[in-house]
Amino acid sequence: MKALLNKELRLCMHPTVFIYLGLVLMLLIPNYPYLVSCFFVCNAIFFVFQQSRENGDALYTAMLPVSKAQAVRAKCLFVVLFEAVDLVLMAGMCALSIVAMPPHNAGGTDHGLSLLAFALVLFAIFNLIFLPSFYKSGYKAGSAFLKGAIGVWIWIVIAEGMMIASAAAGSVPFFRFLQETVDCFPQTKAAWTVQGILFGAALLLWALGTLLAMHLSVQRYEKVDVQ
């Protein structure tokens, strides 16, 4: 598996990966829906899969002494690694926001554990839709990405919309709770507790969702005739 992952990093890496990772700097834009930066990470993953297809990576890998299941797991592991790097960078931007950004983001989720939790859910949704859809054929990256993008944007609208609503309707108890504990940089014990639970749940969802996506991808790719 280590050799296959090394192959992914050396032969399948697309230049947009580094460009889109740099777009984590969007988290320093005042009053902006920061989950949008995660969509570009999904876009970079699509370019990796598309480039792999165009370069005949599937046929090349089929000639190696590895199984289809190992090939799929290596590609999925690359996706997980890329998403994890983006999450670490997002955490750094959240830390920097303490001194560099306004205390509240009117355009969506504030910097904090909630933002990272929502990003994890976004990646779980994308992985669950994109990976099994792509490996159903092994080459239809465009249609798989379109399905994944629709799921991602639905989540962005819901998550960021709820946070915007919490600021606009703060007199409503539910939205006041969101504003005081979820849509903020955690400073109180209640906020740390709520956001910690959200982050832990989202991390578990991302892990389980990606494992399920990997399992489904392996099952579907086993039926594909690689030529």
**150-203, pLDDT tens digit by residue?**
999 999 999 999 888 877 766 678 888 888 888 888 888 888 999 999 999 999
Query: Measured between alpha carbons, how far is residue 44 from residues 41, 104, 218 in Å?
Result: 5, 29, 22
Burial of 32 (0-12, 13-18, 19+ CB in 10 A): middle
Q: Is 105 left (phi over 0), alpha (psi -120 to 50) or beta?
A: beta
pLDDT of residue 98: 77
Domains of the chain by residue range: 2-221
The pLDDT of residue 170 is 62
What pTM value is reported for the model?
Answer: 0.92
- What's the pLDDT score for residue 106? 80
The residues of the chain scoring below 50 in pLDDT are: none
pLDDT of residue 3: 73
pLDDT of residue 227: 63
Q: What is the distance of C-alpha 102 from the center of its chain?
A: 25
Q: Which two tokens stand for residue 2?
A: 């280590």
